[in-house]
A and B are shown apart, each in its own frame.
Chain A
Amino acid sequence: MVQQQHQPTGGKRDPGGDPVPELPDLSWIDKTLGWGIKARVEPFGGGMTVDALNIGVYAEVPDHIPFRNRLPRGAYPAPGAGSIGGYYLQDKHEQWADCAGRLYEEAISRRWSTATDIPWETAHGLNDDVELAICQLATELSQHASVETEVISGWLQNLSPGYHEVKLFLSTATYDSARMFEGYRKRAMVNGGGMMLESPGGMNRAILETYAGWSQTVLGMWFVRNSLDTTILRYLAAYGPTEADRALAARLIPDRMRAAAYATDHIRFAISKKPELAIGFQVWLGGVEYAQARDLRDPVLTEALAIIFGRGVAGMDDGMTVVRRLLQDFVKTYLSRCKQANLDRSKSLSGSFQVMLSGMPAPPRPQA
């Protein structure tokens, strides 16, 4: 049995002259909501996972966290601990996804480095026009990723620590986005091409200006933008002009897909708890589709892709055929995510997206 009473102060003093208690106060030693919990290591090699800790009283993930401080879920609340500010998203439906813990562990297990895991020595020797097109694409993808890092990291202080699985996953998502940013910056610089023209910015704005809530941010960033970026990466993984380009894209796809998995799971969960949210989400997506379509009407990105897939300016017509297929796949991917989240957009898809889905020439060419 452990002694718990506070010990009287004796004559000892610390270097600062303050009195030192004979023995520390042990009144905390039985302050626990659940004792005798033993988490198990995964039997088939996954190690000790974060989801494995959700046992006994600690398995309950409440619908609302009443504290706006950093109380770890399941810890014994300190008396008098109040709000420290921030953490105003205190409801489960505002952030939760059942898969967040698993995605976090997967992200950790798939760690890689752009410095050492990409065969950069193969990234040289392209024709100048293709190299420049790659640099333009790298500039835009790098900027997309940079915006993502700003958005996710900015939201972390608003998401309650009571749903730590979400915070853990989003930490990996920020890190993944940072890796995409620096991976494409390195790609742009490896032959000196460097950063070219910044992206049009309409989608950046749609993602950044989401005061409405985290779920709306998720819709813009990981339903729409991520669907486009992932589709571009899939095409690059298959048709990239160098081994380095293909390897970089292939490495990034699982990172993007984890974000997509969280996004669909979260939106599905939110709608399951509050079905009325679907109405607002539909309206929101309509606005985001408009922003994305407007960005794509600017020809820079599609021209760069056409040069890459056409293997040069001379092959741009062939390349543009591939681009139209890419955009078609982008909209299909987007619609699929919406459907998985119980947010069917097939009947309310914006006109520009319908054009892309049809495979018709989406970006109108300027007159020669």
Chain B
Amino acid sequence: MATEAKPEKYITSFQQLMEEGRKNGYRLDWLLPRETFGARIDSDPDAGGLLLQDIDRGPFAEIPDWSNNMSGRPRGSLTRANAARVGNYSIRTKGDIWLKNASQLYEEAVQRQWSSAVDVPWETMEELPDDIERAECQLATFLTEVEFVAGDVPGKWISQTTPDYYEPRMFLISQIMDEARHMDVFRKRAFANGGGLMSQTTNVALSGGAIDSARDFTEMSARLHISGEGLVLSIFRMGERMSYNAAEKAIYRLAASDESRHVAFGVMHLQYLSQTDPQRKEEIHSYLDEIELGLIAGTGGQNPAQRGTPSSAALAILLGGGSDPTLMAEGAQIALAVRQRQVKEYVQRVKVAGLGERFENGRANATLAAYVSA
């Protein structure tokens, strides 16, 4: 809880201090209390400690709708007239990146960091049948590859976002950290049980660039967070079903926890934008048109369950229990259910983001409805 700031009482004493310092040859013209000086913040260790969202006070909490910060100064700091304009920030409009709970998501990410080296019970892995091991390794190879997308692309946008919007930047940095760990843990899985890396996925290599190529953050976020990561999250949530040991269960459970935050970021950003800048909704709908095409036709390259890919075949083996035709057919049926779940969860995310009208007015891809009702 903060106490009232009383800057007035400090002015006299500071003038005296500055005079004393100047007599000794120091400049001290910077030694001036800001508006909130003296407003103490007491953190509560039982309530998570001193959180990013707790420290927003006075001018430091004012998030401008448009930022003219080109020197990279921390939000609320005083400017120097001679500071170089080094901030090549293309994102200086709040609606372009903002969401209401980025600080909370960042702090949660910090609290939930885990280690692929020691938090996965690798020792529980025992030799698996060759087809199962190969399927595990193919899926792990696919996930290793796509996790590069989810780490590298946000990085580009962090460096292009004004530090006045530091909260979403902080979250995106935590996402880079998470994705590094995912890339790492799936690579480890490929080598942990007598297998190795398998085949690169052609459509990831070719189509992964669609996320890279987005020229607008919201477009990128919709492609990455709402679609790509959402699809992968649905797979991770099925982890219990396709795991063959405690190590794999732990991997999917831990990765799903991270991925949920990433998806939440995308949903909350889209929600903020649709609420504060409804003029952009039509534009966002056009991105969703393309995303839904990818969802159905697999043009996005991000969906491990996309039919006709090595990763979906691997899923069929894992879900069915082997490469025997009967088992695999059963697995393919379960994989179809996974795709249905992916579609349902996508529809729900878009609705929460405030763009659900597309499912009422015929704008959404008609095939989605068939999946939802199947």
Alpha-carbon distance between A139 and B118 when the two chains are bound, in angstroms: 36
User: Considering only CB atoms, which chain B residue lies closest to A73 in the complex?
Assistant: B197
| B117, B312, B371, most chain A CB atoms within 10 A | B117
- B14: contacting residue among A32, A82, A128, CB under 8 A: A128
Chain A positions 188 through 210: 1 when the CB is less than 8 Å from some CB of chain B, otherwise 0: 01111111111111101100110
- B75: contacting residue among A24, A190, A195, A306, CB under 8 A: A195
User: Considering only CB atoms, which chain A residue lies closest to B39 in the complex?
Assistant: A192
Given contacts A168-B184, A171-B179, A156 and B60 within 8 Å (CB-CB): no
- Please state if B307 and A14 are interface contacts (CB–CB under 8 Å): yes
List B1-36 residues whose CB lies under 8 Å from chain A: 2, 5, 10, 13-14, 17-18, 20-28, 30-36
Q: Kindly provide the distance from the CB of A224 to the nearest chain B CB, expressed in whole angstroms.
A: 16
- Please state if A192 and B205 are interface contacts (CB–CB under 8 Å): no
- How many residues belonging to A are interface residues under a CB distance threshold of 8 Å? 134
Chain A positions 45 through 84: 1 when the CB is less than 8 Å from some CB of chain B, otherwise 0: 1111110110110100000000001111011111111101
- Please state if B174 and A72 are interface contacts (CB–CB under 8 Å): no
Alpha-carbon distance between A200 and B84 when the two chains are bound, in angstroms: 8
Q: Would you call A120 an interface residue if the criterion is a C-beta within 8 Å of the partner chain's C-beta atoms?
A: yes
Q: Would you call B50 an interface residue if the criterion is a C-beta within 8 Å of the partner chain's C-beta atoms?
A: yes
- Please state if B205 and A70 are interface contacts (CB–CB under 8 Å): yes
- Please state if B144 and A82 are interface contacts (CB–CB under 8 Å): no
- Please state if B30 and A157 are interface contacts (CB–CB under 8 Å): no
Chain A positions 323 through 357: 1 when the CB is less than 8 Å from some CB of chain B, otherwise 0: 00000000000000000000000000000000000
Given contacts A28-B138, A71-B205, A192-B39, A2 and B79 within 8 Å (CB-CB): no
- Please state if B177 and A86 are interface contacts (CB–CB under 8 Å): no
Alpha-carbon distance between A150 and B73 when the two chains are bound, in angstroms: 12
User: Considering only CB atoms, which chain A residue lies closest to B207 in the complex?
Assistant: A84
- Residues in A with CB closer than 8 Å to B77 are 139, 143, 195-198
- Residues in A with CB closer than 8 Å to B138 are 28-29
Q: Would you call A314 an interface residue if the criterion is a C-beta within 8 Å of the partner chain's C-beta atoms?
A: yes
- Please state if A201 and B86 are interface contacts (CB–CB under 8 Å): yes
- Residues in A with CB closer than 8 Å to B123 are 41
Q: Would you call B51 an interface residue if the criterion is a C-beta within 8 Å of the partner chain's C-beta atoms?
A: yes
- Please state if B55 and A186 are interface contacts (CB–CB under 8 Å): yes
> Which of B165-173, B261-269, B282-290 lies at the interface with chain A?
B165-173
Q: Would you call B208 an interface residue if the criterion is a C-beta within 8 Å of the partner chain's C-beta atoms?
A: yes
Q: Kindly provide the distance from the CB of A60 to the nearest chain B CB, expressed in whole angstroms.
A: 13
- Residues in B with CB closer than 8 Å to A205 are 84, 86
Q: Would you call A181 an interface residue if the criterion is a C-beta within 8 Å of the partner chain's C-beta atoms?
A: yes
- A174: contacting residue among B173, B307, B313, CB under 8 A: B173
> Which of B238-246, B252-260, B272-280, B324-332 lies at the interface with chain A?
B324-332
- Please state if B159 and A192 are interface contacts (CB–CB under 8 Å): no
- Residues in B with CB closer than 8 Å to A190 are 40-41, 43, 50, 55
Q: Kindly provide the distance from the CB of A329 to the nearest chain B CB, expressed in whole angstroms.
A: 22
Given contacts A196-B30, A208-B86, A33 and B197 within 8 Å (CB-CB): yes
Q: Would you call A273 an interface residue if the criterion is a C-beta within 8 Å of the partner chain's C-beta atoms?
A: no
- Please state if B117 and A178 are interface contacts (CB–CB under 8 Å): no
Q: Would you call B215 an interface residue if the criterion is a C-beta within 8 Å of the partner chain's C-beta atoms?
A: no
- B83: contacting residue among A58, A81, A186, A201, CB under 8 A: A201
Alpha-carbon distance between A263 and B163 when the two chains are bound, in angstroms: 25
Q: Kindly provide the distance from the CB of B97 to the nearest chain A CB, expressed in whole angstroms.
A: 14
A-B CB proximity, top 6 nearest:
A154-B159, A47-B117, A81-B205, A24-B313, A192-B39, A171-B180
Could you give 20 example pairs across A and B, Cβ below 8 Å? A3-B323, A29-B138, A41-B122, A58-B197, A74-B197, A75-B199, A115-B48, A128-B14, A129-B17, A136-B30, A174-B176, A182-B52, A192-B34, A194-B59, A195-B76, A198-B77, A201-B71, A202-B84, A208-B72, A303-B21
Q: A42-B117, A182-B170 are in contact. List 12 more A-B contacts (CB 8 A).
A: A2-B134, A48-B188, A70-B149, A72-B145, A76-B199, A113-B49, A115-B52, A115-B111, A133-B31, A152-B155, A192-B38, A198-B77
